Amino acid sequence: GAGVSQSPSNKVTEKGKDVELRCDPISGHTALYWYRQSLGQGLEFLIYFQGNSAPDKSGLPSDRFSAERTGGSVSTLTIQRTQQEDSAVYLCASSLTGDGGYTFGSGTRLTVV
């Protein structure tokens, strides 16, 4: 597609439920990134994919968070047993390797009630 697409754009879930966030990167972009932005905070790196592998998972805040990428394209970020502190905007970005810059999606606003 022309840009990075994320779905849903908004998600309200009850505490303790699992959620899945989807990112569809720009076609041909081999690198995919997930970031989190809490209210009034900066961007927090979560995980990075090169193709289908994740060389850097250092930003995942707990074992409730996981992510996968299939076919070198779509990625899913899963949060299990959601907590209120998981409420944030989750942003996905993709990039060509080499000298490409990042292109961000519009994000998924997650609210845990």
> Rule CB under 8 A: which residues touch another protein?
31, 33, 35, 42-43, 45, 48, 50, 55-56, 91, 93, 95, 97, 99, 101-107
Q: Please, which residues have CB within 8 angstroms of residue 102's CB and are 6 or more apart in sequence?
A: 33, 93, 94, 95
Count of CB atoms situated within 10 Å of the CB of 2: 7
Q: Which of residues 74 and 96 has its CB atom nearest to another protein in the complex?
A: 96
Between 3 and 16, CB nearer to another protein = 3
Residue with tokens 């932005």: 37
State how far the Cα of 69 lies from the Cα of 72, in Å rounded to an integer.
6
Q: Tell the smallest beta-carbon distance from residue 16 to another protein (Å).
A: 27
**Minimum Å distance from CB 99 to another protein?**
6
Among 58, 107, 64, smallest CA distance to 86 is for 64
Between 10 and 83, whose beta carbon lies closer to another protein? 10
At closest approach, how far in Å is the CB of 10 from another protein?
Answer: 11
